[in-house]
Amino acid sequence: MNTQRFFTHPFGVLASALFATFLWGSAFPFIKLSYAALNIGPQEIGEQMLFAGYRFFLAGLIIVLFFTLLGKKMTFQPQTVGTVVKIGLFQTFLQYVCFYIGLSYSTGIQGAIISGSSSFFQILIAHFYYKDDGLNVRKAVGLLIGFTGVVIVNLTKGHLELNFGIGEFLLLMAAFIYSYGNILAKEGSRTIEVGYLTAYQMIFGSLGLLVLGIVQVGAMPFSFDLNTMLMLLYLSFLSAAGFLVWNTVMKYNKVGKVSMYMFLIPVFGVMLSSLILGEEIHSLVLVGLACVAAGIVIVNRTPREKAVQVKKIS
């Protein structure tokens, strides 16, 4: 089974999307653990940007090394600089800056719920970007049910009090920028190999994060030990593997078909935070997961065409 056939087969799409969203969901507890170990506070944006820069720069290098070992040419090609810089600007740099600054002014619950709007934005952008991937009633219903699941999951983490200020605005901007970056990556993958594209967009995007962090707190304000190094390497690995798989899924499928799976990220985040961090988990999480699963099924269900009976004339 070749790459395209696997990533367009229903099982391949499901397995790949679950793999990517599970990895991204696991980032929530590991980022919390890393911040605690490195004494990075909620308002220390410079340290957060620098740590993110380390993470995505290493992620890009991991992909380059992986494909180089497989015998693929991964030397940077100057003619691709415009495409990879533009994608890195949206898919890595801008969305991460907006997300972390926004989260510092908001709450974790609101951040998780608003992050679910990425699916909305991605399907909405695709509606105007692609003639054969428009928004319809079935997708709208699936989105509504899936988003309800994300809200239910986050209700289990405490009292829900939704406000809208600069923090929430930046979180929405992060979701929109990330969604647009995914569309750009899909378009870029038409002419550039996904592995190359993913690696170098991360490397270029991370350079911006590193510059922001270094200007504020210097190049190395952290005291790394084996434990924190392993956590950084895992976060880099999950970014590399997650984006590589997700960008490949996006390359071969309609945006509306796969965007719903992004609702699983906060669901996995809550469940894995409970397992890894010992945070309390409520049975409502299962209800939320069921809603997300139902939304995915509704959006991806292929409508049956009405059978036309043709009378044979003997």
Provide the 10 A C-beta neighbour count for residue 94: 20
Sign of CA dihedral 78, 96, 297, 282: positive
Per-residue pLDDT at 161 exceeds 60? no
Mean pLDDT along residues 141-155: 76
Distance CA 260, CA 21 (A): 11
**Greatest mean pLDDT range, 168-172, 178-182, 279-283, 306-310:** 178-182
Query: 123: pLDDT confidence band, cut at 50, 70 and 90?
Result: confident
User: Cβ of 154: how many Cβ atoms within 10 Å?
Assistant: 26
pTM: 0.85
Q: Which of 67-76, 101-110, 236-245, 300-309 shows the lowest mean pLDDT across its residues?
A: 300-309
With a cut of 70, say whether residue 268 has pLDDT above it. yes
Q: Over range 107-133, report the average pLDDT.
A: 74
What is the CB neighbour count within 10 angstroms for residue 220? Answer: 10
Residue 55's pLDDT is 95
CA distance 178 to 172: 10
What pLDDT does residue 308 have?
Answer: 39
CB atoms within 10 A of CB 45: 19
Query: Quick one: pLDDT band at residue 130, thresholds 50, 70, 90?
Result: confident
Give the residue-averaged pLDDT of 128-143.
Answer: 79
Predicted confidence (pLDDT) at residue 200 exceeds the cutoff of 70: yes
Output b/e per residue, 118-130; b: 16+ Cβ within 10 A. bbbbbbbbbbeee
Contact (Cβ atoms closer than 8 angstroms) between residue 123 and residue 135: yes
CB under 8 A, 24+ apart: contacts of 33-42: 33/231, 33/276, 33/277, 34/228, 34/231, 34/232, 34/235, 37/227, 37/228, 37/231, 38/222, 38/223, 38/224, 38/228, 42/104
Average pLDDT over residues 170-182: 88
Distance in angstroms between the alpha carbons of the first and the last residue of the chain:
44
Q: What is the pLDDT of residues 274-299, one digit of tens each?
A: 788 776 667 777 777 788 778 777 87
Q: What is the mean pLDDT of residues 59-81?
A: 95
Angle at 32 between CA 30 and CA 37, to 5 degrees: 95
pLDDT higher than 70, residue 267: yes
* Res. 154: pLDDT tops 70: no
> Which pLDDT value is given to residue 312?
42
Q: What is the pLDDT of residue 155?
A: 66
